[in-house]
A and B are shown apart, each in its own frame.
Chain A
Amino acid sequence: MLEKGKISPRQMGELLAMIMISTAILFVPSFTVKLLGQDAWLAILLGAGFGVVTLYFVYQLGERHHGQTIFQYAEHLLGKWLGKLVGLIYIWTFLRVVAIVIREFGAFMTTSFMPNTPLSVFTFSIVLLSAWAVMAGLEVIARMNEFLILLVVTSLVAVLALSMGNWDLGSLQPLFAADLLLLLETATIPEIWKVDTITIAVIMPFITRPKRVLIAGTVATLSAGALLAIGIIGTLAIFGPQLLPTFRFPLIMFVRTINIAQILSRFEVVVMVVWVAGAFLKTTYFLYCASLGFAQITGLKEYRPVVFPLGVIATVWSFSLFENIADLEKAISTPSLRSYFIYLGLPVFLLLVTIVREKFFGVSFGGEEKYE
């Protein structure tokens, strides 16, 4: 076993919720409202629901291949080379998430707070810190998150509550005016579709009570979706569906409008705290998943030696992936066939192969008896 630590289902749920909230608060409100107007919050809720669908397939896979990560059972199911290819696809996906998150992190910090600081300062520091945290293992990441999520959720709730004086819920009307097809399509954009649940396929063997993964994951995904939907409702209630999409980071504009009794104002720092903590955790978590996967498909005894090289690859990738902020926004706001394949097609296919081979060929994929 590459990972000796164990985390509880609750810690897993908190991890999931954290990585969903953190990135979704920055770019998402702007382009969702651009597409759907005042019904944007519906897409967020729907996206959370779709995330649960992915979670369900991944959970079924994990149940049937007890004690194995997706990199291991893909090899068992599809043979050595095809299995490794599937593993590589997921490593590529996770690294790409790392690259996008650190680029978003840098773009946000330079746009909103420190325009003269080079992007690389933010990128390097967050990757270094994350790689260091990955070295400590999953258990440490999960425990660190228990503290950070408290900070993030309370800050967000506090900011939303403080702004309520300016809310005009009339701007949510007329309700349900958006085109249904467009709504469904928007909900499958990876930043809205809570595809982070796919990572459960990697960490499921390290969860103490695997039976509870589904319920804990569902609760986490739906509550993260609800919090984000309330966030969008809040920003909509202040700016209205026409003005909001003209802002790059509506949440920053949102907290800048808070001014209670001339004393409680200037809450940008709170958003920065939320975002730094969130981006750090998301980078750490996905770098961990990629490193573990890489070690498993190459048959290493330790995943630690590959953490830094993968971090370097992600850093370089984050620079080369997008030319400028418009490029970045376009990349994260368009639905792609690739994401359907990776987050839905492939897990379903693996599950089908498992069921067929169990049912018709009588193959047993380990499973319960091994660990109970």
Chain B
Amino acid sequence: MNKKLLCTLIALICLALVSTGCWDRIEVEQLAIVRSIAIDYLPGRKAPYLVTLAISLPSDIAGGEGGGGGEPTQLFSGVGATINLALEQANFNLSRRLFLSHAELFIVSEELGRHGLTHVLDFIVRHPQVRLNAFLLVTPGMAQKCLTAPERLEAGVTEEIIGMIHQAQTSPESDPQQAFKFLRQMASPGQDPYISILMLSDPLTTVIPELKDELKPGGQEESSGGGSGESGGSGGGGGGEEQEQVLTLVGQAAFQDDKLVGLMNGVETRGFLWFMGRTERAVITVSDPEDPDGIVSTHVARVETTIKPQIKNGQVSFTVQVEEEGDIRSVSSQTNLATTEMIPKINSAKAAVIKHEMEKALRKMQELKTDLVGFGAILNRKDPDMFRQLQENWSEEFSKLTVDIVVISEIRRTGQQSGPVQQHR
């Protein structure tokens, strides 16, 4: 009897000890949920890392009311000699504990990229909360400024950028990388990593003076300005306010190990994406073979790229074969293109345009000595012994590499219209 009572008592005491929960428990209301992290590098200072956190309020996420209760995203910054120190400093201004598990975005400045990303990558991997499938982006100028851009279609700036990333993944503007893919490329021999560029660019109203003049006289008449057909221009229409810069995701930064060595613009990036077979939905224009003023726009529906190494007398070269299929999207002239004679002509013109684009990208990569395509890695898989000889200075080898580009291009369909737009003369 007595023994049983004792056992029960001991069990109860043990239960009381466990019921307090675990050490690392914390309630949602006490967390500052970080959605994106912008990291700037300020050279010449003792505390060079400027870290800016975009923090979402959990009530806004749950309620979904968005603009109802003030700003959906708040920015907090801190500087420090390391990212962790900067985070600690940012914490001084915070009423809640930082929570990084939902950080989906790391934006680093070009300056930091040129300094080297080792510290940032180590932080991402080592921290118990940060996730490896967060996206990495590079921005020219201050990374912090990207987070201050206004959200336009989504609830917060992070969602806005994430949306742009998903958009970019299915279109040929750039190839946004998750952190683990970047790490993997960086670690693989014969392969250099790259990160997409996010930048703030001026809206069309400042680029095109006519449009600006049109909008100036009456702030209220902006609806008529939008109705004139300039759908791109109406994006800047924020009423009478100063035009805000808009976020743009295009192009990519080439890295050698963890250091940024050069930026590739949109055209070069598209050329690069041909090597990856990732250019579906691209628009390619060729001039009308009959009428030099006419422009034919074609839409890419399917791409397949195969890269094969060839070794002859100890010399390595590569053959890149691109097979592309698409249809005609618009024609600005009166020529009937849907004939068996015309289509092969467009096909060969299109193939030439693609090849030119790819060569441009290749030249740029060779100039920067960055093997973003991973020619070395492909060689390593096919012939590891050969690659081992070249591995030591592969970037030098790559800059002198001969790459044969063969493009096979086909037009399959001509859209809903079979002939040209009919006019009676």
| A interface residues (Cβ-Cβ under 8 A, vs B) | 111-118, 121, 125, 170-171, 173-174, 177, 238-240, 242-243, 246-247, 253, 256-259, 265
Q: In the complex, A118→B384 CA distance in Å?
A: 47
Given contacts A174-B380, A246-B125, contact A239 B180 (CB under 8 A): yes
Given contacts A114-B22, A114-B24, contact A256 B131 (CB under 8 A): yes
Pairwise interchain contact A173-B125, C-beta atoms closer than 8 A: no
Closest to A111 in B: B128
Of the A-B pairs whose beta carbons lie under 8 Å apart in the complex, a sample of 6, sorted by A's number, is A114-B24, A115-B128, A116-B24, A238-B180, A238-B184, A257-B180
CB distance from B400 to the nearest CB of A (A): 24
Given contacts A177-B384, A240-B188, A246-B125, contact A256 B22 (CB under 8 A): no
Q: Does B178 contact A (CB under 8 A)?
A: yes
Q: In the complex, A243→B180 CA distance in Å?
A: 9
Q: Does B132 contact A (CB under 8 A)?
A: yes
CB distance from A280 to the nearest CB of B (A): 16
Pairwise interchain contact B133-A259, C-beta atoms closer than 8 A: yes
CB distance from A245 to the nearest CB of B (A): 9
Q: In the complex, A171→B181 CA distance in Å?
A: 13
Q: In the complex, A57→B384 CA distance in Å?
A: 41
| B residues in contact with A265, CB < 8 Å | 133
Q: In the complex, A114→B125 CA distance in Å?
A: 16
CB distance from A236 to the nearest CB of B (A): 11
Chain B 108-138 near chain A by CB (<8 Å), digits 1 or 0: 0000000000000000010010011100000
Pairwise interchain contact A243-B184, C-beta atoms closer than 8 A: yes
Contact of A174 among B133, B178, B384 (CB under 8 A): B384
| A residues in contact with B380, CB < 8 Å | 174
Q: Does B189 contact A (CB under 8 A)?
A: yes
Pairwise interchain contact A242-B125, C-beta atoms closer than 8 A: no
Closest to A125 in B: B18
Given contacts A116-B24, A256-B133, contact A242 B189 (CB under 8 A): yes
CB distance from B362 to the nearest CB of A (A): 21
CB distance from B275 to the nearest CB of A (A): 15
| B residues in contact with A118, CB < 8 Å | 23
CB distance from B407 to the nearest CB of A (A): 23
Q: In the complex, A253→B183 CA distance in Å?
A: 12
What interface size band does chain B fall in? 20 to 34
Contact of B132 among A117, A125, A174, A257 (CB under 8 A): A257
Pairwise interchain contact A257-B188, C-beta atoms closer than 8 A: no
Pairwise interchain contact B23-A117, C-beta atoms closer than 8 A: yes
Q: How many A-B residue pairs have CB under 8 A?
A: 59
| B residues in contact with A243, CB < 8 Å | 180, 183-184, 186-188
Q: Does B3 contact A (CB under 8 A)?
A: no
Closest to B25 in A: A114
Pairwise interchain contact B23-A173, C-beta atoms closer than 8 A: no
Q: In the complex, A258→B133 CA distance in Å?
A: 8
CB distance from B186 to the nearest CB of A (A): 8
Q: Does B381 contact A (CB under 8 A)?
A: yes
Closest to B186 in A: A243
CB distance from B19 to the nearest CB of A (A): 13
Q: In the complex, A238→B128 CA distance in Å?
A: 20
Q: In the complex, A174→B386 CA distance in Å?
A: 12
Given contacts A174-B380, A174-B384, contact A256 B23 (CB under 8 A): no
Pairwise interchain contact B187-A256, C-beta atoms closer than 8 A: no
Pairwise interchain contact A240-B22, C-beta atoms closer than 8 A: no
List which B170-189 residues lie within 8 A (CB) of chain A. 178, 180, 183-184, 186-189
7 additional A-B pairs beyond A114-B22, A257-B180, beta carbons within 8 Å, are A114-B24, A115-B24, A174-B381, A238-B180, A239-B183, A246-B125, A253-B125
Given contacts A114-B23, A257-B178, A259-B133, contact A242 B187 (CB under 8 A): yes
> Which of A113, A125, A239 has the most chain B CB within a 10 Å cutoff?
A239
| A residues in contact with B381, CB < 8 Å | 170, 173-174
Q: In the complex, A208→B22 CA distance in Å?
A: 43
Pairwise interchain contact B23-A239, C-beta atoms closer than 8 A: no
Pairwise interchain contact B24-A253, C-beta atoms closer than 8 A: no
Closest to A247 in B: B125
Given contacts A115-B24, A117-B22, contact A256 B132 (CB under 8 A): yes
| A residues in contact with B178, CB < 8 Å | 257
Q: In the complex, A265→B162 CA distance in Å?
A: 16
Pairwise interchain contact B180-A253, C-beta atoms closer than 8 A: yes
Closest to B380 in A: A174
Q: In the complex, A116→B24 CA distance in Å?
A: 6
| A residues in contact with B131, CB < 8 Å | 256
CB distance from B113 to the nearest CB of A (A): 20
Closest to B133 in A: A257
Please give me the 5 A-B residue pairs with the lowest Cβ-Cβ distance, nearest first.
A242-B187, A117-B23, A173-B381, A114-B24, A243-B187
CB distance from B133 to the nearest CB of A (A): 5
CB distance from A300 to the nearest CB of B (A): 21
CB distance from A106 to the nearest CB of B (A): 13
Pairwise interchain contact A113-B183, C-beta atoms closer than 8 A: no
Closest to A174 in B: B384
> Which of B18, B380, B381 has the most chain A CB within a 10 Å cutoff?
B381
Q: In the complex, A227→B187 CA distance in Å?
A: 27
Q: In the complex, A265→B178 CA distance in Å?
A: 14
Q: In the complex, A363→B18 CA distance in Å?
A: 57
Q: In the complex, A114→B23 CA distance in Å?
A: 8
| B residues in contact with A112, CB < 8 Å | 128
Closest to B378 in A: A170
Contact of A253 among B132, B187, B189, B384 (CB under 8 A): B132
